[in-house]
Chain A
Amino acid sequence: MGEKILVKGNEAFGEAAIRAGCRYYFGYPITPQNELTEYMSRRLPGVGGAFLQAESEVSVVNMLYGASCMGVRVMTSTSSPGFSLMQEGISYMAGAELPAVFINVVRGGPGLGDIQPSQGDYLQATKGGGHGDYRLIVLGPSTIQEAIELVMLAFNLADKYRTPVEVLADGMIGQMMEPVEFPEIRSLDTLPEKSWALTGAKGRKPNKITSFDLDPYNLEKMNLRYQATREKVIANEQRWEEMNVKGADILVAAYGTVGRIMRTVIELAKEKSMKVGLFRPITLWPFPYKRLEELSKEVDTVLTVELSGGQMLEDVKLAVKDNAKTPFYGRMGGVVLTPEEILEQIEKLVKERGGV
């Protein structure tokens, strides 16, 4: 780790990727993530990599497919509508077990929506997104420092499990500036070997990469392999942060930008003698169901707060079951919640249960 420098979220994503050993970036302009595409165009040629501005997000994801076949670390970044366009290719990559990192700087939707921060793409990110039976590993940073760490983790998980990984950010994380520290740049010699890559059939049988098999029994075998990987990821990779949970009057479940806003809410609540606990999933898939279930037994209300109409709420309900009430509060379409309005909701709920 070096000294602290002030950087914009979008640029931090790019620098973190390079330090993780990524030398290939394919992208298409879309707001609010353009600084990242621009950063990679400036930075990659100087480190022996390649940048290409593609003709569409459809082409981008297929370029990632191609580069990943060659065994290199590769990534793209986009925002909601662009990520929708990539879904076909992501499904192919999941089927072909090709690692890559996708950074989605989510904006308001549906449709053309707007360019403000939103969490409206949680379900698309965590429940599949494209056709077929697959999940992406989805990481949700709440600060720029954490984004740096999660981008580096994303590349490691992608290679370890041979899967596309999505970093689900939003316009707030992408656009704001924070002082951060970057880890040392990783030497490419230390990256994992990929014996499956299409490097040319020299002294070995040809390697084939495909998501295709017309025989249903063989295709089922492939699917069972994906499922086995999925089980391993669920068992090994759940990550979350909990704050102030012991003896809390109420537990709030929130991720990403809202998780960050919740830190302020916790402080404001202290002034009103309320103890607000925070459960912040970092892996949105695999969702840390078990830990949230345990915590929900200690409170009678788990409030979910999101910049959406209630998407992570579905996972919270699956975790909490009947252990506690699961109310929801959110704003949509790019409106960012204020700490005060969240606090107001919390006060109401705490009063309903008989005060502090």
Chain B
Amino acid sequence: MNAKVVMKRPESLSKMDFTYCPGCHHGIVHRLIAEVIDKLGIREKTIMVAPVGCAVFAYDFFDVDGTVASHGRAPAVATGMKRARPDRIIFTYQGDGDLAAIGTTEIVHAANRGENITVVFINNAVYGMTGGQMAPTTLIGQRTTTTVHGRDSKTAGYPMRVCEMLSQLEGPTYIERVAVDTPQHVMKTKKAINKAFENQINGLGFSLVEVLSACPTNWGLPPGEAIRWLQENMIEFYPLGVYKDKAKERMKLIAHSS
């Protein structure tokens, strides 16, 4: 036998099976986060804060210390953790209902304080766990179980662009929107997540990576078509890219003051 292991489960993922649907992107993003934690050698000092939503079990999927916050409050929980133990690496993992609807206050103020935490924000434009209701990021015309004729801005307002909104604040250090629809984008996402953790290690402050993700189940599409829908609709409304990056500037400030 000359079999060589070329790829294996990252150490920072537990052995538990994911509970996600076929074609869901949570699994890809979980793996990328775990690879980054492994690579940075921070598994033994990382604490995860899971959300309420499809990723509610995420604290069991990572082989790090973890908890689950009440719906939307992960940035406040992470703030309490980081203030109590600034030498630990704290990250939250939140969906669009969690972060951009019920938890809007918590994310805005954690970002504005420049809280030295890492936020991974999954935007799939729908409430997954509760069965496909409208999210704050649901696109105009998109059908959900609470907008059966498509989201109408007259009654349901407009999709919220979180990266654009948060990048207006002075506090955040790094904000980027990515997707995991192609291998190239997956590599880019890993790089972004890596940077968001590195910033925290270097004490640079608040980092948020928004990942556009597919929800084939609640979009009512097969996985392949769901990716196409994401590319044709979501990326159009939510352009990928770096919205804010003050890492270098803040690194200099730290070097200067120490």
Interface residues of A, Cβ cutoff 8 Å to B: 24, 26, 50, 52, 54-56, 58-60, 62-70, 72, 74, 88-89, 92, 96, 198-203, 206-212
Whether the pair A70, B84 counts as a contact (CB closer than 8 A) is: yes
Contacts of B105 in A (CB 8 A): 55-56, 58-59
Whether the pair B68, A66 counts as a contact (CB closer than 8 A) is: no
Whether the pair B84, A24 counts as a contact (CB closer than 8 A) is: yes
Contacts of A60 in B (CB 8 A): 76
Whether the pair B80, A201 counts as a contact (CB closer than 8 A) is: no
Whether the pair A70, B85 counts as a contact (CB closer than 8 A) is: yes
* CA of A64 to CA of B84, assembled, Å: 10
Whether the pair B88, A65 counts as a contact (CB closer than 8 A) is: no
- Tell which of B60, B63, B67 touches A201, judged by Cβ atoms closer than 8 Å: B63
CB distance from B166 to the nearest CB of A (A): 15
* CB-based nearest A residue for B76: A62
Secondary structure call for the A interface = mixed
- Tell which of A58, A67, A88, A207 touches B84, judged by Cβ atoms closer than 8 Å: A67
Is the C-beta of B106 less than 8 angstroms from some C-beta in chain A? Answer: yes
Whether the pair B80, A200 counts as a contact (CB closer than 8 A) is: no
Known: A70-B84, A198-B66, A199-B65. A58 touches B47 (CB 8 A): no
Contacts of B109 in A (CB 8 A): 54-55, 59
Whether the pair A74, B47 counts as a contact (CB closer than 8 A) is: no
CB distance from B67 to the nearest CB of A (A): 4
Contacts of B56 in A (CB 8 A): 212
Whether the pair A66, B66 counts as a contact (CB closer than 8 A) is: no
Is the C-beta of B202 less than 8 angstroms from some C-beta in chain A? Answer: no
Is the C-beta of B99 less than 8 angstroms from some C-beta in chain A? Answer: no
Whether the pair B85, A96 counts as a contact (CB closer than 8 A) is: no
- Tell which of A66, A68, A201 touches B76, judged by Cβ atoms closer than 8 Å: A66
CB distance from B55 to the nearest CB of A (A): 12
Is the C-beta of B248 less than 8 angstroms from some C-beta in chain A? Answer: no
* CB-based nearest A residue for B45: A200
CB distance from B129 to the nearest CB of A (A): 11
Contacts of B226 in A (CB 8 A): none
CB distance from A23 to the nearest CB of B (A): 8
Q: Which of B14, B85, B105 has the most A CB atoms < 10 Å from its CB?
A: B85
Whether the pair B84, A96 counts as a contact (CB closer than 8 A) is: no
Contacts of A96 in B (CB 8 A): 67
- Tell which of B14, B67, B73 touches A209, judged by Cβ atoms closer than 8 Å: B67
Is the C-beta of B64 less than 8 angstroms from some C-beta in chain A? Answer: yes
Is the C-beta of B70 less than 8 angstroms from some C-beta in chain A? Answer: yes
Is the C-beta of B175 less than 8 angstroms from some C-beta in chain A? Answer: no
Contacts of B82 in A (CB 8 A): 66
Known: A62-B106, A206-B66. A67 touches B43 (CB 8 A): no
Contacts of A201 in B (CB 8 A): 43-44, 63-65
Whether the pair A199, B88 counts as a contact (CB closer than 8 A) is: yes
Interface residues as binary, B78-91 with A (CB distance below 8 Å gives 1, 0 otherwise) = 11111111001000
Is the C-beta of B77 less than 8 angstroms from some C-beta in chain A? Answer: yes
Q: Can you report 9 residue pairs joining A to B where beta carbons are below 8 Å apart?
A: A55-B108, A59-B76, A60-B76, A62-B80, A72-B84, A200-B64, A201-B63, A208-B65, A209-B66
Residues from 103 to 159 in B contacting A, C-beta threshold 8 Å: 105-106, 108-109
* CA of A212 to CA of B70, assembled, Å: 10
Contacts of A89 in B (CB 8 A): 70, 73
Contacts of B80 in A (CB 8 A): 24, 26, 62-70, 74
- Tell which of A55, A67, A206 touches B63, judged by Cβ atoms closer than 8 Å: A206
Known: A66-B80, A66-B84, A74-B80. A210 touches B59 (CB 8 A): yes
Whether the pair B77, A70 counts as a contact (CB closer than 8 A) is: no
Is the C-beta of B46 less than 8 angstroms from some C-beta in chain A? Answer: yes
Known: A58-B105, A59-B76, A72-B84. A66 touches B49 (CB 8 A): yes
* CB-based nearest A residue for B71: A88
* CA of A66 to CA of B64, assembled, Å: 16
- Tell which of B63, B76, B83 touches A24, judged by Cβ atoms closer than 8 Å: B83
Contacts of B67 in A (CB 8 A): 65, 69, 96, 198, 208-210
Whether the pair A206, B70 counts as a contact (CB closer than 8 A) is: no
Whether the pair A200, B65 counts as a contact (CB closer than 8 A) is: yes
* CA of A62 to CA of B94, assembled, Å: 15
Contacts of B108 in A (CB 8 A): 55
- Tell which of B60, B69, B79 touches A208, judged by Cβ atoms closer than 8 Å: B60
Q: Which of B46, B66, B76, B108 has the most A CB atoms < 10 Å from its CB?
A: B76
CB distance from B85 to the nearest CB of A (A): 5
Contacts of B63 in A (CB 8 A): 201, 206
Whether the pair B81, A70 counts as a contact (CB closer than 8 A) is: yes
* CB-based nearest B residue for A73: B84
* CA of A237 to CA of B28, assembled, Å: 50
* CA of A198 to CA of B44, assembled, Å: 10
Known: A56-B105, A59-B106, A59-B109. A212 touches B76 (CB 8 A): no
